[in-house]
Structure 1
Amino acid sequence: MSDDVENNTSYDYSSYYNGVIYDSFSPCSNTELVDFGRVFLPTLYSLVFVLGIIGNGLVVCVLVKHRNQTNLTDICLFNLAVSDLVFVVTLPFYAHYSMVGHWPFGDFMCRFASGSHNTGFFSSIFFMVVMTLDRYLVIMHTKKVAKYRTLRAGFALTAFVWTLSLCVSLPAILFTKVTNESNGLSCNYEPENKAWRLYNIFTMNVLGLVIPLLVMIVCYSRMIPILMNMMSTKKHHVVRLIISIVVAFFLFWAPYNISLFLEFLKSPAISGDCDSEANLKLSITVTETIAYTHCCLNPIIYAFVGQKFMGRVLRMLRKWVPGILLPSAREFSDSSHRKSSFMSRTSVTSNLIM
């Protein structure tokens, strides 16, 4: 009897071939995205690398040359430039990785590049926050904080920020590894469970965008009325610069963080839609590269806008490259700096900050 039942039992597998289940589990082709990345990423990464090295390298060279005049602002600016350099030196590895489609540098360099990439990113963000808070305290509580803005405080802040950045980036070092894929060796972030992916999204969005942006908005919104009441011919220029710092930071980093957050939140239905998945990956690729270019703007925003600092840069360039056509360094001399309330060496007003 049981044999008859077993022989007469039939199983309907038609649902597996009606197109619904098959389509939902069929792999999406990312050939177009890979081809786009092979051209777009190496080009943009190389451009960001060159501009980042030149701009931040000049900042480091100028501050090292004038290290005998170092103060707290210079220490923060120096570390901001070093953070951006640590960040951009990893880009040639990722540019080559995007171009050839596999990771040829081994497991150690995979972890090292990932760790440097993340440490440079977070330390750059954290030093911008420190500089914002420093400006705020100097403008709002000038007399109270003057005695605390010492070199010792600067070195202590430096050690704290770099240690914090390294600790935040530690999972990227531990869980990034070389894996053997169908198209060759890949260097990917492969955490043990979903909790570490949630940690990665949390640090990128909260520590890398939300908190720094809130600090900038709160501090600068309280500083602007004070600056507007100052008797200065360039107070509007300073206010515009402050606004540009916040707007640039938001415009360059917010799209990338939003794209990462959407990728983390995507549902199975969305992930099964090849068009949506391709568009999301494309948006991450494009917004990531745009965000990386922000490190090229840091020297312009935080250093080169100052007359005194710009004068030092011009004098150094004239010494290194004789005959180069540059504006006269006298236009950016130290004496002219005293006549300006514009930000010098990342300070909002030289008389208050320096």
Structure 2
Amino acid sequence: MVLNCTEIDDVLERYYLSPSYGLEFCIGFPGNLVVVLGYLFCLPKWQSCNVYLFNLAVSDLIFLCTLPRLSYLYANRQKETSAYACIINRYVLHVNLYSSILFMVWLSMDRFLLIRHPARNHFLLRPRAAMVVTALSWLAVNVEVIPMIALMLQDLQRANWSRCNDFASLQGDIGVLSYSLGLTLSGYVLPLLGLCGFSHHIARLLQTQEEAIRRKTALYKRPLRVVASAAAMFLVLYTPYHIMRNVRIASRQAWAGVQLCSRMYIEGVYILTRPLAFLHSVINPVFYFFMGDKFRELLLKKFRKLVNNKKTAKRTAVKNLQ
């Protein structure tokens, strides 16, 4: 069967996006839910690091809740008919996209300051300061996303509130390409540079503390590995998406003169990058166990306690029956 170029997006949405989003939800939702519940019920004393990690987990958890609906719609070749659901879904998606990397920057900053000030005497290492930074981060990300909501409203109104387009397919009074490039710079490139910068500073700081490293190798090297891994993760997952989103938007401009089939091929590659970008919500729980202060130990201790309580209750019930 020869596939018409105009059918590329439909095929990819049904056979690629739908299973990809479903799989990301099935893996990512339990992991992030465990982290959120673990922070709420297992952590007696919160540090600044825990504030950033908890907000990151909540952001991922809310985003993952939007994936089952998208997966269902794509699998059944249905379009989103609710304007409210359309706006909320795109809003949550992009807020999570840019809040995730921003919280990772603050986590990297936190690890750098902790190595430099082991006694936690820096004001940014206080939980209250972390809450202020977190609130400002949520505000900044929402300010970045507000123009996209305005574009969506204009696009929905133009289609009589019956067509829910992806960000790269929006049309409105605001220059979509200029806005997308600005969002890429402020929401992705600058935070990525921040992650790379903290990785570099941590590496240099460790070099100057060579004697301390010999005594506590794991304690001092772990933050560098974690921060460098976070930078590599966002570089690999986010870069293809942002490049193809801007290429997709540019290909739809009249001045580009791109033919229909070429535009559809570009859209097909752009669709391929979308689940890849959202994969960070599945991977992020790994960082909680390595960056959280004794979080893994506390979570396992709580789990063992619950299992032991259940076994004790079962033995008591058996004895009562006898």
Q: Say yes or no: TM over 0.5.
A: yes
Separation of aligned partners in 1, 2:129 and 2:223: 26
Shift of 1:275: 4.3
Between the aligned partners of 1:87 and 1:253, the Cα distance in structure 2 is 16
Tell me how far 1:300 sits from its aligned partner: 0.3
Identify which of 82, 85, 91 aligns with 2:58: 82
Question: Any conservation in 2 of the 1:217–1:246 contact (CA below 8 Å)?
Answer: yes
CA contact (8 A) 2:112 2:202 kept: yes
SS at match of 1:259: helix
Match in the other structure for 1:121: 97
Answer yes or no: is the 8 Å Cα contact 2:241–2:270 preserved in 1.
yes
What is the aligned counterpart of 2:271 among 285, 294, 307? Answer: 285
| Aligned-residue offset at 1:151 | 2.5
> Does residue 256 of the first structure (1) align with residue 236 of the second (2)?
no
Q: How far did 1:97 drift?
A: 2.9
**Equivalent in the alignment of 2:313:** none
Structure 2 unaligned residues grouped into runs of 5+: 311-322
Q: Which digits, 9 at most, give the CA deviation of each residue in 1:233-258, with x for residues without a partner? A: 32555544333222111011111111
Cα distance in 2 for partners of 1:162, 1:298 equals 18
Residue 49 to residue 145, structure 1, CA distance change in 2 (3 Å):
same
Structure 2 residue corresponding to 1:187, chosen from 164, 168, 172: 164
Equivalent residue, structure 2, for 1:202:
182
State the shift of 1:196 in Å: 4.2
**Alignment partner, residue 229 of structure 2:** 244
- Which residue in 1 is equivalent to 2:299? 313
One-letter code aligned to 1:207 = S
- Distance change >3 Å, CA 315–CA 103, structure 1 → 2: farther
Per-residue CA deviation, residues 250-306 of structure 1 (Å, 9 max, x unaligned), is: 011111111112223337586533443233112111111111111111110243566
Quote the Cα distance in structure 1 between the aligned partners of 2:36 and 2:261: 45
Residues 39 and 99 in structure 1, CA contact (< 8 A), matched pair in contact too: yes
Alignment of 1:1-354 (within 5 A): 29-140=5-116, 145-177=121-153, 178=156, 185-188=162-165, 189=167, 190-203=170-183, 205-228=184-207, 229=210, 230-231=213-214, 232-234=216-218, 235=220, 238-266=223-251, 272-304=258-290, 308-319=294-305
Q: CA RMSD in A?
A: 3.0
For residues 96 and 140 of structure 2, what CA distance do their matches in structure 1 show? 11
Q: How many angstroms apart in 2 are the aligned matches of 1:209 and 1:148? A: 23
- What's the offset of the Cα at 1:143? 6.4
The aligned counterpart of 1:8 is none
Cα separation, partners in 2 of 1:150 and 1:244, compared to 1, 3 Å: closer
The normalised TM-score by structure 2 is 0.80
Distance, in Å, in 2 between the alignment partners of 1:64 and 1:156 is: 19
Moved more, 231-240 or 44-53: 231-240
Counterpart AA for 1:214: L
More deviation, 77-86/221-230: 221-230
Counterpart contact for 2:124–2:130, Cα < 8 Å: no
Equivalent-residue separation in structure 2 for 1:315 and 1:67 (angstroms): 11
Task: Please give the secondary structure, in 1, of the residue aligned with 2:78.
Answer: coil
Contact map agreement 1:252 1:290 (CA 8 A) in 2: yes
Higher relative contact order, chain-length normalized (CA < 8 Å, sep 6+): 2
Aligned partners of 2:53 and 2:292 also within 8 Å: no
Once the two structures are aligned, what percentage of the paired residues are identical?
A: 25
Q: Give the match's secondary structure for 2:164.
A: strand
Higher helix share: 2
Larger CA Rg, structure 1 vs 2: 1
- Aligned partners of 1:274 and 1:191: how far apart in 2? 17
Q: CA deviation at 1:311?
A: 2.1
Structure 1 residue aligned with 2:318? none
Structure 1 CA distance, aligned partners of 2:292 and 2:124?
Answer: 24
Q: CA deviation at 1:64?
A: 0.6
Question: CA separation of 1:236/1:73 partners in 2, compared to 1, >3 Å: closer, same or farther?
Answer: closer
- The 1:201–1:180 alpha-carbon spacing in structure 2 relative to 1, beyond 3 Å, is same
Alpha-carbon offset, residue 67 of structure 1: 4.4
